[in-house]
Amino acid sequence: MYVGETGVSYSSIKEVKNMKFQTANRDQAMFKKSLIVALGAMVVALSGCDSKEEKANQAAIQAGQKLAEKGRDAIPGCVACHGAHGEGIAAAGYPRLAGLNAGYIEKQLKDLARELPPAGVAIEAVAKDYSKTPRIYSDLTVFSPGLRHDDIMSPIAKQLSVADIHNLAVYYASLSYTAIPVAADYQVLERGQDLALRGKAEYGLPACVSCHAPDGEGFGADFPPLAGQPSIYIVNQINKWQQGQRDNDNLGLMKAVADQLTDADKLNVAAYYANRSLTVKGQQ
Ligand code: HEC
Ligand code: HEC
């Protein structure tokens, strides 16, 4: 016979141990229950303050979807060229938009809408009299409002309002996407892979993966995905950098790469990225 802490008597030590064990279990269960209640309350509280933002976001996505599908006045529906689900049209080299970062889409539409400076006007990179000429950009921050021109896409982008651009960006970012790998000659793929993963250190050319992520899935608003983009589109964009029709990459990061690529490099690396698997979950 043994009298425990609470004054209750037990017949054996073993029983006491069991009792303690049970109490501990009960305490844990209680603790778990109160934790669940507390967490539940937090979720309710959080969703309470999020719901306004959430609603605004859903409204933006819906407005974006409507514009993308139906167009408005002289704005054609984006679906005509970018596919019913933003998958693009590979054969025509029209890019996929589904699952791209919303910030990236916004930037591209703004850059495409910007008027090119009139041809033949020389722009002085460095103002000669610093006291009289207000500088817009400081020397090292060449985060310039970039220029990107395309005969088809620029006139469309020019008609979009700031709200349209935001709505379209969040809509396309909300779409999930699964790439269908395109077959290509294995030697072409091997060369493309070599360039993508290794670059050309001997010419100071960094690997594509160092900026466009290990599987070419892209990174944030500044580094777009290459996997899942039509090979024609990838070649076209590199050509545009080389020809000065696209000049909207911060710090000239992509321009420096494009300038080192040969025609064969472009084809190889584009085939490699069109051959990649990729699954992207849309950001709601
Ligand atoms: C008539 C065909 C056509 C229509 C309609 C069209 N686009 Fe495009 N879009 C293009 C082409 C072609 C390009 C590639 C431009 C280039 O080479 O720079 C492009 C590029 C883009 C890009 C850049 C993608 C990237 O990866 O950088 C975005 C964003 C875009 N379009 C959004 C839209 C939206 C939003 C709409 C609807 C309001 C739309 N487009 C309607 C043909 C079209
Ligand atoms: C030092 C970083 C860096 C490296 C390395 C790099 N890129 Fe880029 N690339 C960029 C940036 C930044 C952009 C986006 C520019 C913008 O904001 O419009 C870009 C955009 C692109 C685009 C346009 C995508 C689109 O949706 O319009 C293509 C195509 C591209 N890169 C191909 C390549 C290839 C191929 C390689 C390797 C040979 C490569 N890049 C290596 C920084 C890099």
Per cent of the chain over pLDDT 90 is: 61
Let me know: does 255 contact 247? Beta carbons within 8 Å: yes
How far is Cα 245 from Cα 239, in angstroms, rounded to an integer? 8
> Is the predicted pLDDT of residue 141 greater than 80, yes or no?
no
> Is the predicted pLDDT of residue 11 greater than 60, yes or no?
no
Mean pLDDT of the chain: 82
Let me know: does 112 contact 147? Beta carbons within 8 Å: no
Tokens standing for 272? 């490699």
Helix/strand/coil for 10: strand
At 81 the pLDDT is: 98
At 127 the pLDDT is: 45
> Is the predicted pLDDT of residue 135 greater than 80, yes or no?
no
Give 21-63 pLDDT, tens digit per residue: 444 455 555 545 554 545 444 444 455 557 898 999 999 999 9
Let me know: does 256 contact 247? Beta carbons within 8 Å: no
Ligand 2 pocket: which of 101, 148, 211 to mutate (most atoms within 8 A of CB): 211
At 133 the pLDDT is: 42
* Range from 47-51, 124-128, 177-181 carrying the lowest mean pLDDT: 124-128
Q: 126 C-alpha to center of ligand 1: Å?
A: 33
Ligand 2 pocket: which of 100, 212, 217, 273 to mutate (most atoms within 8 A of CB): 212
> Do the strands 9-10 and 246-247 form a parallel or antiparallel pair, or are they unpaired?
unpaired
Task: Please report the atom of ligand 2 found closest to the CA of residue 238.
Answer: 29
- pLDDT band of residue 122 (cuts 50, 70, 90) is low
Give the pocket of ligand 2 (CB within 6 Å). 95, 107, 195, 206, 208, 210-212, 222-224, 226, 229, 234, 237-238, 248-249, 253-254, 257, 269
Ligand 1 pocket: which of 79, 81, 237, 249 to mutate (most atoms within 8 A of CB): 81
Torsion-angle region of residue 219: left (phi > 0), alpha (psi -120 to 50) or beta? Answer: beta
> Residue 117 — φ and ψ, nearest 5°?
-65, 145
Task: Please report the atom of ligand 1 found closest to the CA of residue 80.
Answer: 5
pTM for the whole thing? 0.81
To the nearest 10°, the Cα dihedral for 138, 111, 272, 276?
A: 110
* Protein residue with least CA distance to atom 31, ligand 2: 254
DSSP letters for 131-142: TTS--SS-TT--
At 45 the pLDDT is: 47
* Protein residue with least CA distance to atom 16, ligand 1: 150
